[in-house]
Amino acid sequence: MTTTERPTERVLVIDNNSARSAILKQALNDQGYDVACRLENTEGLINRVEQIKPDIIIIELDSPDRDVLEHMATLNSHIPKPVVMFAEEGDTETIEQAIKAGVSAYVVDGMSADRIQPIMSAAAARFREIQALRGELDDVRGELQDRKQLDQAKRLIMKHQNCGEDQAYSAMRKMAMDKGQSMTAVAKNIISVLEMLD
Protein backbone atom coordinates (compact mmCIF):
# COMPACT_ATOMS: atom_id res chain seq x y z
CA MET A 1 0.00 0.00 0.00
CA THR A 2 1.48 3.38 -0.91
CA THR A 3 1.31 6.39 1.34
CA THR A 4 -1.29 8.05 -0.91
CA GLU A 5 -3.71 5.13 -0.38
CA ARG A 6 -3.43 5.35 3.40
CA PRO A 7 -5.54 7.97 5.17
CA THR A 8 -3.36 10.68 6.71
CA GLU A 9 -2.73 9.87 10.35
CA ARG A 10 -2.27 12.63 12.91
CA VAL A 11 0.86 12.18 15.01
CA LEU A 12 1.68 13.75 18.36
CA VAL A 13 5.45 13.92 18.93
CA ILE A 14 6.86 14.20 22.46
CA ASP A 15 10.53 15.14 22.49
CA ASN A 16 12.44 17.76 24.47
CA ASN A 17 15.17 17.95 21.82
CA SER A 18 14.00 20.38 19.12
CA ALA A 19 16.72 19.43 16.60
CA ARG A 20 15.99 15.72 16.94
CA SER A 21 12.22 16.25 16.72
CA ALA A 22 12.65 18.38 13.57
CA ILE A 23 14.38 15.42 11.89
CA LEU A 24 11.60 13.11 13.08
CA LYS A 25 8.91 15.52 11.87
CA GLN A 26 10.50 15.69 8.40
CA ALA A 27 10.77 11.89 8.24
CA LEU A 28 7.11 11.52 9.27
CA ASN A 29 5.96 14.11 6.71
CA ASP A 30 7.95 12.28 4.02
CA GLN A 31 6.08 9.09 4.93
CA GLY A 32 2.68 10.84 4.64
CA TYR A 33 1.96 11.46 8.32
CA ASP A 34 0.59 14.74 9.67
CA VAL A 35 2.57 15.90 12.71
CA ALA A 36 -0.18 17.70 14.60
CA CYS A 37 1.92 18.92 17.50
CA ARG A 38 5.21 18.55 19.37
CA LEU A 39 5.32 18.56 23.15
CA GLU A 40 8.49 18.81 25.21
CA ASN A 41 7.23 16.48 27.96
CA THR A 42 4.28 14.34 29.06
CA GLU A 43 2.87 16.83 31.62
CA GLY A 44 -0.90 17.25 31.14
CA LEU A 45 -0.85 14.57 28.47
CA ILE A 46 -4.49 13.51 28.74
CA ASN A 47 -5.76 17.07 28.18
CA ARG A 48 -3.41 17.59 25.24
CA VAL A 49 -4.44 14.28 23.63
CA GLU A 50 -8.11 15.22 24.06
CA GLN A 51 -7.44 18.55 22.30
CA ILE A 52 -5.13 17.30 19.54
CA LYS A 53 -6.85 13.94 18.91
CA PRO A 54 -3.79 12.18 17.47
CA ASP A 55 -4.06 8.77 15.81
CA ILE A 56 -0.64 7.78 17.14
CA ILE A 57 1.86 9.15 19.65
CA ILE A 58 5.64 9.09 19.26
CA ILE A 59 7.90 9.68 22.24
CA GLU A 60 11.60 10.17 21.59
CA LEU A 61 13.92 10.35 24.58
CA ASP A 62 17.13 9.02 26.02
CA SER A 63 15.44 6.90 28.68
CA PRO A 64 11.87 6.93 29.99
CA ASP A 65 11.74 8.02 33.63
CA ARG A 66 9.07 7.11 36.17
CA ASP A 67 6.99 10.24 35.47
CA VAL A 68 6.84 9.50 31.73
CA LEU A 69 5.77 5.90 32.39
CA GLU A 70 3.12 7.03 34.90
CA HIS A 71 1.73 9.55 32.40
CA MET A 72 1.66 6.83 29.73
CA ALA A 73 -0.16 4.41 32.05
CA THR A 74 -2.75 7.08 32.94
CA LEU A 75 -3.27 7.90 29.27
CA ASN A 76 -3.61 4.20 28.43
CA SER A 77 -6.36 3.75 31.01
CA HIS A 78 -8.30 6.88 29.93
CA ILE A 79 -7.68 7.43 26.19
CA PRO A 80 -5.71 4.49 24.81
CA LYS A 81 -3.66 5.32 21.72
CA PRO A 82 -0.90 3.52 19.83
CA VAL A 83 2.40 4.74 21.27
CA VAL A 84 5.85 4.34 19.72
CA MET A 85 8.76 5.04 22.04
CA PHE A 86 12.21 5.68 20.58
CA ALA A 87 14.87 5.47 23.30
CA GLU A 88 18.61 5.22 23.60
CA GLU A 89 18.52 2.82 26.55
CA GLY A 90 16.93 -0.58 26.22
CA ASP A 91 17.37 -2.62 29.37
CA THR A 92 14.79 -5.36 29.84
CA GLU A 93 13.20 -3.84 32.96
CA THR A 94 12.64 -0.43 31.31
CA ILE A 95 11.13 -2.04 28.21
CA GLU A 96 8.80 -4.20 30.33
CA GLN A 97 7.67 -1.16 32.34
CA ALA A 98 7.04 0.81 29.13
CA ILE A 99 4.97 -2.03 27.61
CA LYS A 100 2.96 -2.34 30.86
CA ALA A 101 2.34 1.43 30.70
CA GLY A 102 0.76 1.00 27.26
CA VAL A 103 3.64 1.55 24.83
CA SER A 104 2.89 -0.38 21.63
CA ALA A 105 6.44 -0.38 20.25
CA TYR A 106 9.70 0.30 22.09
CA VAL A 107 12.56 1.00 19.68
CA VAL A 108 16.14 1.14 20.94
CA ASP A 109 18.94 3.13 19.25
CA GLY A 110 16.72 6.00 18.21
CA MET A 111 14.84 6.68 15.02
CA SER A 112 15.88 6.23 11.42
CA ALA A 113 13.72 7.41 8.52
CA ASP A 114 13.66 4.09 6.67
CA ARG A 115 12.28 2.27 9.72
CA ILE A 116 9.42 4.65 10.53
CA GLN A 117 6.68 3.18 8.32
CA PRO A 118 7.08 -0.48 9.41
CA ILE A 119 7.44 0.52 13.07
CA MET A 120 4.31 2.71 12.95
CA SER A 121 2.33 -0.05 11.19
CA ALA A 122 3.48 -2.67 13.69
CA ALA A 123 2.62 -0.41 16.65
CA ALA A 124 -0.87 0.29 15.28
CA ALA A 125 -1.50 -3.42 14.63
CA ARG A 126 -0.31 -4.38 18.11
CA PHE A 127 -2.45 -1.64 19.66
CA ARG A 128 -5.58 -2.90 17.82
CA GLU A 129 -4.87 -6.46 18.94
CA ILE A 130 -4.46 -5.41 22.58
CA GLN A 131 -7.65 -3.32 22.47
CA ALA A 132 -9.56 -6.30 21.02
CA LEU A 133 -8.23 -8.58 23.78
CA ARG A 134 -9.11 -5.96 26.39
CA GLY A 135 -12.66 -5.78 24.99
CA GLU A 136 -13.00 -9.58 25.13
CA LEU A 137 -11.70 -9.61 28.70
CA ASP A 138 -14.20 -6.90 29.72
CA ASP A 139 -17.02 -8.95 28.14
CA VAL A 140 -15.97 -12.08 30.05
CA ARG A 141 -15.70 -10.12 33.30
CA GLY A 142 -19.17 -8.66 32.71
CA GLU A 143 -20.62 -12.11 32.07
CA LEU A 144 -19.00 -13.47 35.24
CA GLN A 145 -20.35 -10.53 37.26
CA ASP A 146 -23.85 -11.11 35.82
CA ARG A 147 -23.60 -14.82 36.67
CA LYS A 148 -22.56 -14.00 40.26
CA GLN A 149 -25.51 -11.64 40.67
CA LEU A 150 -27.96 -14.20 39.26
CA ASP A 151 -26.64 -16.86 41.65
CA GLN A 152 -26.75 -14.46 44.61
CA ALA A 153 -30.34 -13.41 43.81
CA LYS A 154 -31.36 -17.05 43.40
CA ARG A 155 -29.86 -17.96 46.81
CA LEU A 156 -31.67 -15.03 48.45
CA ILE A 157 -35.02 -16.13 46.97
CA MET A 158 -34.39 -19.72 48.07
CA LYS A 159 -33.66 -18.50 51.61
CA HIS A 160 -36.60 -16.07 51.89
CA GLN A 161 -39.17 -18.20 50.06
CA ASN A 162 -37.88 -21.50 51.44
CA CYS A 163 -37.89 -23.01 47.97
CA GLY A 164 -35.60 -24.98 45.67
CA GLU A 165 -33.21 -23.69 43.03
CA ASP A 166 -35.51 -24.40 40.10
CA GLN A 167 -38.43 -22.59 41.74
CA ALA A 168 -36.23 -19.58 42.56
CA TYR A 169 -34.98 -19.42 38.97
CA SER A 170 -38.54 -19.71 37.61
CA ALA A 171 -39.67 -16.90 39.91
CA MET A 172 -36.85 -14.68 38.66
CA ARG A 173 -37.64 -15.50 35.04
CA LYS A 174 -41.35 -14.70 35.56
CA MET A 175 -40.43 -11.35 37.18
CA ALA A 176 -38.17 -10.52 34.25
CA MET A 177 -40.92 -11.33 31.72
CA ASP A 178 -43.62 -9.48 33.67
CA LYS A 179 -41.48 -6.34 34.03
CA GLY A 180 -39.89 -6.55 30.58
CA GLN A 181 -36.44 -6.49 32.18
CA SER A 182 -33.32 -8.57 31.77
CA MET A 183 -32.56 -11.31 34.26
CA THR A 184 -29.54 -9.30 35.40
CA ALA A 185 -31.67 -6.22 36.14
CA VAL A 186 -34.15 -8.35 38.09
CA ALA A 187 -31.29 -10.00 40.00
CA LYS A 188 -29.92 -6.58 41.01
CA ASN A 189 -33.37 -5.50 42.25
CA ILE A 190 -33.82 -8.72 44.22
CA ILE A 191 -30.40 -8.36 45.84
CA SER A 192 -31.00 -4.71 46.82
CA VAL A 193 -34.42 -5.53 48.36
CA LEU A 194 -33.74 -8.88 50.02
CA GLU A 195 -30.33 -7.95 51.42
CA MET A 196 -32.04 -5.20 53.44
CA LEU A 197 -34.29 -7.85 55.00
CA ASP A 198 -31.34 -9.96 56.17
For residues 66-93, give the mean pLDDT. Answer: 86
Which carries the bigger pLDDT value, residue 193 or residue 81? 81
Show which of 94, 111, 128 is a domain's final residue. Answer: 111
Q: Could you tell me if residue 19 is inside a domain? A: yes
Q: Is 31 exposed, middle or buried (0-12, 13-18, 19+ CB in 10 A)?
A: middle
Residue 151 has pLDDT above 70, yes or no: yes
Q: 18-22, 37-41, 185-189: which has the minimum mean pLDDT?
A: 18-22
- 3-state DSSP of the chain: CCCCCCCCCEEEEECCCHHHHHHHHHHHHHCCCEEEEEECCCCCHHHHHHHHCCCEEEEEECCCCHHHHHHHHHHHHHCCCCEEEEECCCCHHHHHHHHHCCCCEEEECCCCHHHHHHHHHHHHHHHHHHHHHHHHHHHHHHHHHHHHHHHHHHHHHHHHHCCCHHHHHHHHHHHHHHHCCCHHHHHHHHHHHHHHHC
Please report whether residue 88 resides in a domain. Answer: yes
pTM, two decimal places: 0.65
pLDDT band at 2 (very low <50, low <70, confident <90, very high): very low
Residue 184, in any domain of the structure:
yes
> The domain spanning residue 148 has which CATH number?
1.10.10.10
Structural domain count, the chain: 2
Q: Find the range with the poorest average confidence among 11-15, 80-84, 86-90, 113-117.
A: 113-117
Categorize the per-residue pLDDT at 64 as very low, low, confident or very high, splitting at 50, 70 and 90.
confident
Same domain as 189, residue 148: yes
Q: What pLDDT was estimated at residue 191?
A: 87
In terms of domains, do 75 and 155 share one?
no
Say which CATH number the domain at 20 has: 3.40.50.2300
Q: Is the pLDDT of residue 165 over 70?
A: yes
* Residues 184, 98 share a domain: no
Shared domain check, 148 and 98: no
Range of the domain at 166: 142-197
Does residue 120 form part of some domain? no
For residue 4, name the pLDDT band (cuts at 50, 70, 90): very low
36 is a domain residue = yes
Quick one: 89 and 180 in the same domain? Answer: no
Q: How confident is the model at residue 3 (pLDDT cuts 50, 70, 90)?
A: very low
Domain annotation covers residue 126? no
Structural domain includes residue 3 = no
Residue at a domain's end among 93, 111, 129: 111
pLDDT digits (tens, 9 = 90+) for 105-121: 888 876 666 677 778 87
Specify the pLDDT at position 113: 64
pLDDT band at 1 (very low <50, low <70, confident <90, very high): very low
88/177 same-domain check: no
Mean pLDDT of 170-196: 87
